[in-house]
Amino acid sequence: MSTRHQIIEQLGSGGFGTVYRAKDTQLNREIAIKRLKATEGSNRSELMSTLLEEAKILAALRHPNIVTIYDIQSTDEHAEIIMELVKGITVEQLIKRHLLLARDFSFIATQILSALSVAHKHSVLHCDLKPSNLMLCATQGDNYEVKIVDFGMSPSASNITGQTTKIIGSIYFMAPEQLDKGEVSVQTDVYSLGCLFYYMLTGAHPFDGDTTVQVMASHMLGNYKPITTIRKDLPHELCDWVEKHISKNPEDRFQSCKDALNALIKLNVECPTEAFKLEASSKSKRASLDVRPITTSSLAPEESKKAKTGNEKDSEFVLPPHAAQLAEKHQKAEFNEVKKPLPSAPKEPKALAEQVIRIAPNSIWYFTIKGQRRGPIPIESLGGLIENGQLREEDSVWHPAYDDWRKVKDCEELKPYLDKVKEANKPDTVSLLSRLFKNKSKPETSDQPSSGILSSCASIVSIELLIIFFGTLVCGAYIWYKPDLWQFGTAVFGITLFCFGYFKLKLAEGRTDLLWLIAGISLPVFGDLLYTLTHLKMGAKSFLLMLLGMSLLLYIAIQSDLFHMISISTS
């Protein structure tokens, strides 16, 4: 391995290689390195071919819920893949802590199905879907997302669909046709997902046994315990949806992950949100009996989990104000009889998926700004980024309903926000004078005559008009008493108008953008005129004061020259 990548620790190992946490010293970021080591008797060219195939597979799958590959390298002893370091816990670790409520499950299942639908679109199968290959990672904004890892040894669907191949995968999640004839297809991934979903909800495998042969026989017979007999809290529609994945015959399953995703999105069922315990006799000993929402403690790494004392309170996920409002409306609409905890009982942490924006598949949006991927966020937050100018038409966004990333301008859901931006930036054709003296007050009502008059006066009178009015009075009074110094009085009035308009316009330019301020200073008159034409509301009045002041000074200069010429000619 090159000196650029420094190994920090080993994260895990499997049948095909070992994964390490490392640091990229040039880019100053942590990465993951998957190393395939050539053992005695192994064919090195075959190993490199497998590694290159994995790199191509991962590089082709550009999806927020699939781990990203950075580079590939090899030495005389081993070959390595440099990839994104996924920080979080596996679904296997989560299920050992507690089982999922329907809302968390829907949020996670949506992301998994969306990622696999894109993989299948690129003719890529996973063939090793299991809880240890799914990571749950905390993200910015106190949210979390799913990352599917270990696509590495999955064969291409275009090459092996319907053909016999070497059995790859975990025995608890393998389809009957894969165990019987070694046949793999999109349907085998769908079946594995069904076993995985069953495990996430119940903590038990749908097809189990004391030995490998018994597990295989259970798959072949297709007999399993219905989810509703284990989880009384789950809606029957959701249970039927999960069990359709594990139908014995491939024709009876969902024909694609896209179909399964669309069916999940259409499910609109009410689900309890209170934590409870399952009966010990109804599930496997490999998982927890607790069923509760996902909290910060749920996603804490193993070392953080062990270091936590019993007196420490599990921190809640923080939601933005709009999300809290949506959640409150949702609770009032669907759960009018929510039980309040006793005063002495500890406060139950709020779950991410308990909020409307966390569980609705239509609210899962990712976006890229300056090459960095962010999300998931609801569409309202995405619209706010567009209206604020942080997200532009050419930037990319992703949604479960899409097969790939799309530009903002190509998304029908985001066009209303783009229209608002265009309307706000639309050039104003109203003249400067009409803008300056336009009365924007509402019509006066009969029951509030005084307030109507005051509001009308307030809309007309401004500080610019007051300066012109009182300045004219002072200048006129000065000239009345000292007519010989009319030029001095008028010049002072003109300079005052110009300076006030100039400084007020510079303040407006600085608040709008520093570039406007630089242009107004470095390009006198032209920069100010350009700013005024594009920002009439903020610059029109100040620019008119500057014009009026310069006009007075120009008039005095012309009058002085004429007076001087007349005096010379008469003499």
Residues at the annotated binding site for ATP?
34
Q: How far apart are CA 256 and CA 239, in angstroms?
A: 18
The pair of structure tokens assigned to 193 is 């997902």
Adjacent-strand bridge partners of 36: 79
Report how far residue 197's alpha carbon sits from residue 201's, in angstroms, rounded to the nearest whole number: 6
Q: Which residues are annotated as a binding site?
A: 34
- The region, left, alpha or beta by phi > 0 then psi within -120 to 50, assigned to residue 238 is alpha
Question: What does the angle CA 43 – CA 48 – CA 50 come to, to the nearest 5 degrees?
Answer: 95
Alpha carbons 445 and 452: distance in angstroms, whole number: 7
The C-alpha atoms of residue 290 and residue 277 are separated, in whole angstroms, by: 5
Nearest Cα residue to 150 out of 124, 187, 188, 179 = 124
d(C-alpha 517, C-alpha 505), whole Å: 9
- How would DSSP label each residue in 490-523? HHHHHHHHHHHHHHHHHHHHHHH-HHHHHHHHHS
Query: Six-digit token pair at 162?
Result: 């319907």
Identify which of 378, 375, 373 has the alpha carbon closest to the alpha carbon of residue 361: 378
Task: Give me 401's structure tokens.
Answer: 């309903």
DSSP 8-state assignment for residue 539: H
- What tokens were used for 329? 């409306």
Residue partners of 291: CB distance under 8 A and separation at least 6? 98, 99, 100, 101, 231, 233, 275, 276, 277, 278
Tell me how many degrees the CA angle 285-289-294 measures, rounded to the nearest 5: 125
CA distance 469 to 548: 13
Q: Which amino acid is at 143?
A: N
Q: How far is CA 99 from CA 103, 162, 246, 332, 345, in A?
A: 12, 35, 20, 26, 22
Bridge partners of 373, per DSSP, are: 368
Interatomic CA distance for residues 15 and 357, integer angstroms: 39
